[in-house]
Structure 1
Amino acid sequence: MESQLLAESQRVGVLFPGQGAQVVGMGQALYSQHALVRERFAEASDLLGYDLGKICFEGPAEKLNATEFSQPALFVTSIVASEVLRAEQPELFERVVATAGLSLGEYTAVCFAGGLEFADALRLVQRRGKAMQAAADEVESGMCSLLGLSLEQVETLCREVRQEGEVLAPANLLCPGNIAVSGHKSALARLEPAAVEQGAMKVVPLAVAGAFHTPLMQPAVEALREALLASSPRDTRLPVYSNVDARPHQAAGEIRDLLARQVVSPVLWESSLRQMMADGVDGFLELGTGRVLRGTLKRIDRKLPSEGFGE
């Protein structure tokens, strides 16, 4: 890849995708072309206790979409994409000044920024996936994206649709007109027709196990806190923009606390991107599978240079 960002951008931000971006075949092209990728997949498979490459490359989709498998898969494919591109275009990485990741992708961002070693980060991601899957198994819940509505409209719909004892709330504030909602499946079922009646262009169910980024994930928080304490994160060499507050952080203690809080807090993705731009980032790289993050960027600033690598 000959990056136009080299010509157009002096201050590059690196972005990492989250759950929902996974697809059977992810990472296979890089795996076939680069020995360092094959070595990383072998290391990951040894640590995880199963053949990660087989799940990424062959599926089936139902298995890859399971939280406990999709999160390690996304983490590893994004990290190897960053390592290949860094080896091929070191001059581009001299211009990287900040990083962020969507939900699970924030763990990738912390690892990329030097806050965690690969093995420690992968163990954390595996623990996170299992903890979130366990929390999701406790209640019938899920997520969907609402396209074409404002945050105010979505918040009003959630208040009107949910019944006593139900959770239904905005969870991923991705970009103008694209907001993901999490909650009980009973409430989500009533949300879809109400959203269409309100003028939503589309309601898209997401391939996730449960109501991520809501209080329904609270059982996962303590497990994550314990794992984060055991992982010994370091201060990062680059600012990592947190999903929780859309602000840059480099101190290990702050990042550890924010990563634990993240699973029950709405993802402030649009605000994070806008803050990165306000802080001087003038071009973005999306590393790993999918194009979702570049899509959110285009809804915020169509003229801003952005590219992907590792699909």
Structure 2
Amino acid sequence: MSCSLVFHSVSPKSVSMNSSGLNCSSLAGFKNGIRRFRIKNLDNTRVSMSVSVGSQNTVNDALFSDYRPTHAFLFPGQGAQTVGMGTEAQNVSAASALFKKANAILGFDLLDICINGPKEKLDSTVLSQPAIYVTSLAAVEILRAREGGQCLIESIDVTCGLSLGEYTALAFAGAFSFEDGLKLVKLRGEAMQEASDAANSAMVSVIGLDSEKVQKLCDAANEEVDEGDKVQIANFLCPGNYAVSGGVKGIEAVEAKAKSFKARMMVRLAVAGAFHTRFMESAVSRLEAALAATEIKTPRIPVISNVDAQPHADPGTIKKILARQVTSPVQWEMTLKALLSKGLKKSYELGPGKVIAGIIKRIDKGADIETISA
């Protein structure tokens, strides 16, 4: 079985229903290597537009704006890592091959750290990010090896990932190769760790409040700290669960005031620093340079951005969005609500843990989601 994660366009063929109830012949959006979508022009009339996947020509960034999702792949972010992940991947040759490729790129045995830890080492930003990226894409290969797995993969018409998971989603969608994505993720982890080391910052999850009350809690805390310690909402995850980032004194002020705002729980996050805020600004220039040197193609399916909860088709725009992502709040709640409101039928969480499944159930108890671990 091939370990390639470049998913090429397929011509529609007559295929019987598989065990998942999916019909591969329904993938009629692909024809002669071209993916066709509908977009709106400036006077709101409907026009048809096509683009060769991976084309180096100028691409209308609004190509995917009228997407209608049915089946989605969702990829986890930092925090999903757990000692023992990657074990199942060793039973599938294509999944196992990804770890071997990763070892050659990273210069150390990633699988050994994933399986054996220690936990403190795996939890570090520089290791957890590539570990989750590789394990999540290994989960795709595990799914592919199952009966009907390839047909299911071909049915996926939208993808996204939580923070780091956006890189995994872009790799799955063919925007860049597995190898280039891993190099970007490695650098991203290193840059974010360096930015964290340069500032005394932290993150905390506020449980039990809506986003408006969490914002008021942040405002109250910011009245008591200097500019360098101010806090903000960094992760909009789901109703009742929002992560706040900022200087340590600001985070301590949030924790001290949480009870008066009737927060149910406060959980200090085991991360290196204040991700998705201005505290990560020093990481942006390194990411911009690496992204500029990386070939990025038009994704073959919509990939929803963490920054604005929208899909982007233009490679140049994708590069800018990824550079902004480390300093911008994660709009995960908005992303999931948009997918569900547009008619999403089923989603799959691929990678370690079940964090995303828990989040989407908080948004819609009836949401159909399956977890595929590695």
TM-based fold match above 0.5:
yes
Question: Given residue 200 of structure 2, which amino acid in structure 1 is its aligned partner?
Answer: E
Equivalent in the alignment of 2:328: 265
Deviation at 1:258, TM superposition (A): 0.7
Deviations 1:138-168, CA, capped at 9 Å, x for gaps: 0111111111001111111111112122231
Q: Under a length normalisation based on structure 2, what TM-score does the superposition of the two structures give? A: 0.79
Q: Does 1:17 align with 2:76?
A: yes
- Is the Cα contact below 8 Å between 1:5 and 1:283 reproduced in 2? no
Given the alignment, which residue of 101, 109, 116 partners 1:51?
A: 109
- Relative distance call for 1:5 and 1:236 in structure 2 (3 A) is farther
SS at match of 1:255: helix
SS at match of 1:68: helix
Q: Distance in 1 between matches of 2:145 and 2:344?
A: 22
- Asked if structure 1 preserves the Cα contact closer than 8 Å seen for 2:277 and 2:326, the reply is yes
Deviation at 1:253, TM superposition (A): 1.5
What residue number does 2:167 align with? 107
Tell me the equivalent position of 2:352: 289
Structure 1 residue 8: Cα displacement:
9.2
Instruction: Name the counterpart of 2:226.
Output: 164
- Return the offset for 1:7: 4.4
1:125 maps to which residue?
Answer: 185
Select 1:62's aligned residue among 109, 116, 120: 120
How far apart are 1:277 and its partner, in Å?
2.0
Distance 1:101 1:36 in 2: 22
Distance, in Å, in 1 between the alignment partners of 2:366 and 2:74 is 17
Cα shift at 1:265: 0.3
Code of the aligned partner of 1:127: L
Distance 1:278 1:254, change over 3 A: farther
Residues 257-299 of structure 1, C-alpha deviations (whole Å, 9 max, x = no match)? 1111000000000101111223332111000001111111111
- Residue equivalent to 2:307: 244
Q: Which moved more, 1:65-74 or 1:196-205?
A: 196-205
CA–CA distance in structure 2, aligned partners of residues 5 and 248 of structure 1: 30
- Alpha carbons of 1:156 and 1:251: their partners in 2 closer, same or farther (altered >3 Å)? same
Long gaps (5+) in structure 1: none
1:220 alignment counterpart = 283
Q: Kindly provide the CA deviation profile for residues 70-105 of structure 1, in whole angstroms up to 9, marking residues without a partner as x.
A: 000000000110122123211212221100000000
* Distance of aligned partners of 1:5 and 1:116 in 2 relative to their CA distance in 1, 3 Å threshold: farther
Residue deviations 1:92-134 (CA, integer Å, cap 9, x gap): 1222110000000000000010001000000000000000000
Contact 1:14 1:287 in 2 (8 A): yes
Matching residue's letter, 1:66: S
Question: 1:29 Cα shift?
Answer: 2.0
Q: What are the ranges of 5 or more consecutive residues in structure 2 without an aligned counterpart?
A: 1-17, 24-68
Letter in 2 for 1:198: F
Identity of counterpart residues, as a percentage?
46
Which residue pairs with 1:72 in the alignment?
130
1:8 and 1:305 in contact (8 A); partners too = no
Deviates more, 1:139-148 or 1:81-90: 81-90
Distance 1:5 1:221, change over 3 A: farther
* Higher RCO (CA-CA < 8 Å; seq separation 6+): 1
Give, in whole Å, the separation in 1 of the partners of 2:242 and 2:152: 32
On the 8 A contact 1:5/1:305 being kept in 2, the answer is: no
**Length-normalised TM-score, structure 1:** 0.95
Q: Which has the higher helix share?
A: 1
Please identify, of 259-268 and 78-87, the stretch whose mean Cα deviation from structure 2 is larger. Answer: 78-87
